[in-house]
Amino acid sequence: MQTITKVALDAMGGDNAPAEIVKGAVDAVSSREDIKVFLVGQEDVVREELQKYPYPQERIEVVDAPEVIEMAEPPVQAIRKKKQSSLVVGMNMVKQREADAFVSAGSSGAVLVGGQTIVGRIRGIKRPPLAPIIPTETGISLLIDCGANVDAKPENLVQFAKMGSIYMKNIEGIENPRVGIINIGAEDEKGNELVKSTIPLLRECKDINFIGSVESRDIPNGPADVLVCEAFVGNVLLKFFEGLGKMFMAEIKDTLKSSVKTKIGGALIYKPIKKTFKRYMADDKGGAPLLGLKGLVVKIHGNSKDTEVRSAIEQCRNFVKKDVTNQIIRTFVEEENKGEN
d(CA 272, CA 269): 6
**H helix runs in 172-304, sequence order:** 193-204, 231-256, 260-279
- For 35-72, write each residue's pLDDT tens digit: 999 999 999 999 999 999 999 999 999 999 999 999 88
Cβ atoms within 10 Å of 242's Cβ, excluding its own: 12
Amino acid at 31: S
d(CA 208, CA 159): 11
pLDDT, tens digit only, all 341 positions of the chain: 578 999 999 999 999 999 999 999 999 999 999 999 999 999 999 999 999 999 999 999 999 999 999 988 999 999 999 999 999 999 999 999 999 999 999 999 999 999 999 999 999 999 999 999 998 988 899 999 998 788 899 999 999 999 999 999 999 999 999 999 999 998 888 899 999 999 999 999 999 999 999 999 999 999 999 999 999 999 999 988 888 878 887 888 888 888 888 888 877 777 777 776 666 666 667 899 999 999 999 999 999 999 999 999 999 999 999 999 999 999 887 776 665 55
d(CA 147, CA 260): 45
Nearest Cα to Cα of residue 226 among 263, 265, 179, 259: 179
CB 196 within 8 A of CB 189: yes
- For 127-147, write each residue's pLDDT tens digit: 999 999 998 988 899 999 998
Does 3.40.718.10 match the CATH number of domain 129-281?
A: yes
In DSSP notation, 278-309 reads: HHT--GGG--EEBTTBSSEEEE--TT--HHHH
**H helix runs in 172-230, sequence order:** 193-204
CB 85 within 8 A of CB 42: no
d(CA 124, CA 155): 11
From-to residues of CATH 3.40.718.10 in the chain: 1-125+292-322, 129-281
Second-level CATH architecture of 1-125+292-322: 3-Layer(aba) Sandwich (3.40)
d(CA 313, CA 287): 9
